[in-house]
Amino acid sequence: MSDEYLVKIENEKLSFFTPAGEVKALNDVNITLRPGEVLGIVGESGSGKSVTAYSLMGLTADPGKLIGGKIRFNGHAIETMSEKEIRKIRGNEVSIIFQDPMTSLNPVYTIGNQITEVITLHTGKSKQEARERAKELLELVGINEPEKRLKQYPHELSGGMRQRIMIAIALACEPKLLIADEPTTALDVTIQAQILELMMDLKEKLGMAIIMITHDLGVVASMCDHIAVMYAGRIVEYGTTDQVFYEPSHMYTKGLIRSIPRLDVDEHQRLIPIEGTPVDMLNPPAGCPFAPRCEKAMKICLRQPAPITEFDDTHYTYCWLHQKAAMEKQAARPEVADSRIAMSQGGEK
C-alpha cells in the first residue's frame, strides 16, 4: 500500500523528558516522500524540523522518546526496530549531512579513514577496494587531488571542502534518501551556491530523495519539490513549492514570506514582522501554537489545535480560518461568531 512512498511518517509524537518538564517536540507530524523527490522542511530554531528528520534515522537522543505514530522508510518500520537493526540501514539506505562541517568530522582521523570506515562497514569491501571507492567519491563531489586529500586531516581543509567530504561520506553507499540538516548555513553564500549545485547534480545522477532542513526560504525555493512548514513541533502547512510560496494558507507561512526583505524590490517598503516571541516549548499554548502571535486569531484558536484542511492532494494546512466546520460551529454558536467579528474589526489579539 505504502510501497510508492519512500518515507511515510504518520502522526508522529515525540517528547523530550527534561528536568524542567515534558517538551512536546513533535505533535502529530505527517510526512510523505516519494523516491527522487526533494522535500524542504522550514521553520525556526526549536520548531522540530531536525528532530523529525533524526527520528527517521533512529537518532532520537536520550531524554527524547518516541511516544506515538508510525515511521515507515523504504519498507522498514523504524519505530519497532532495534538499534542493531537500524545501524544496518543508517549510512547505507539513509544518510545525513549536518549543519556544521567544522565539528561533524572527527579531527583525529584522516579524511580517507573516515570515508573508508563507512564503506567497509556496510559493503564488506577490502580496505584497498574501499580506498579506491573513496577516491571515486571525492571526484564525484568535485574535490581535486583526491589521493592527497585522503591523507589530510579535517583542519587542513576549508569549510566548503569539509562539507563536500561530508557529502562524499553520506553518498558512500548510494543511499535512497539523503537528509541535509542546514547543510549550507555555516557556509558563505558563494560556497553555498557551489554546494547546492552539487547536491542537485548528485540527485540527478544517483536518483536519491532529499530532505532539506533549513530556515532559509531562498534555499527551499530554488531546490525543493514540496515544502513542509513547521512551527512549535507541528507541521502547519504542506504543499508544493509553488503552492506554499504563491498560495500560502497558514498565517505563519504568510507572515514568514512577508517578513523577509527582497533583493528584487527597489522602492523601500517597511517590513511586516511577525510580532511576539517564539513559543516556550515547556508551556505551549493549548490551541494552535501560532495563535498568540497570529493577527487573525479567534477564540477557538487559543483553545483547540486546528484540524487539517485539505485543499487538494498535495496542499494542506492546520488553521481554523480554513475550517469549514469551524464556520458551521460558529453559525450554531453565536458567542463564538460574535467574538470573531469583534476580533476582525478590532484587529488586535
Partner 1 sequence: MSGKNEDFIVVEHLKQYFPAGGHGKNKKYVQAVDDVSFTIKKGETLGLVGESGCGKTTTGRTLLRLYEPTGGRFVFDGDTIFDVEKKEYANMLPYRKRMQIVFQDPYASLDPRMTVGDIVGEAIDTHHLAKDSKERYDMIIELLRKVGLNSEHANRYPHEFSGGQRQRVGIARALAVNPDFIVCDEPISALDVSIQAQVINMFEDLQKDLGLTYLFIAHDLSVVKHISDRIGVMYLGRMVELAPANELTNAPIHPYTQSLISAIPLADPKLARQSKRIVLEGDVPSPVNPPSGCRFRTRCPKATEHCAKEAPEFKEVLPGHFVACHNIDPDALKKEPD
Q: Verify binding: residue 264, partner 1, rule CB under 8 A.
A: yes
Q: Verify binding: residue 342, partner 1, rule CB under 8 A.
A: no
One of 255, 285, 287, 289 touching partner 1 (CB under 8 A): 255
Report DSSP letters for 4-38, one per residue. Answer: G-SEEEEEEEEEEEETTEEEEEEEEEEEEE-TT-E
CB of 157 to partner 1, least distance (A): 9
CB of 276 to partner 1, least distance (A): 9
Contact 110, 152 (CB under 8 A): yes
Pairing of strands 64-73, 7-18: antiparallel
**Dihedral, CA of residue 296, residue 216, residue 98 and residue 155, to nearest 10:** -140
Q: How far is CA 124 from CA 46, 87, 120, 175, 200, in A?
A: 39, 15, 5, 16, 29
CB of 308 to partner 1, least distance (A): 23
Return the C-alpha cell found at 137. 567519491
- Site residues (CB under 8 A) for partner 1, limited to 288-307: none
**Start-to-end Cα distance in the chain:** 45
Q: Verify binding: residue 249, partner 1, rule CB under 8 A.
A: no
One of 134, 274, 291, 301 touching partner 1 (CB under 8 A): 274
The amino acid at 53: A
Tell which residue, 230, 225, 185, has the closest CA to residue 203: 225
Q: Verify binding: residue 314, partner 1, rule CB under 8 A.
A: no
Tell which residue, 59, 174, 82, has the closest CA to residue 122: 174
Q: Verify binding: residue 283, partner 1, rule CB under 8 A.
A: no
One of 277, 312, 332, 346 touching partner 1 (CB under 8 A): 277
- Site residues (CB under 8 A) for partner 1, limited to 37-76: 44-45
Question: How many helices (DSSP H) and strands (DSSP E) are in the chain?
Answer: 13, 12
Contact window for partner 1 (CB under 8 A) among 17-25, 173-181, 264-272, 297-305:
264-272
CB of 298 to partner 1, least distance (A): 21
- Site residues (CB under 8 A) for partner 1, limited to 161-180: 161
Q: Verify binding: residue 19, partner 1, rule CB under 8 A.
A: no
- Cβ-count burial 303-312 (b if 16+ within 10 Å, e if not): eebbeebeee
- Site residues (CB under 8 A) for partner 1, limited to 200-219: 215-219
One of 25, 138, 196, 228 touching partner 1 (CB under 8 A): 196
Alpha helix (H) residue ranges in 124-211: 127-140, 146-150, 159-171, 189-206
One of 35, 36, 278, 292 touching partner 1 (CB under 8 A): 278
Residues engaged in binding partner 1 (CB under 8 A): 44-45, 158, 160-161, 188-194, 196-197, 215-219, 221-222, 241-242, 245-246, 255-257, 259-264, 266, 268, 270-275, 277-278
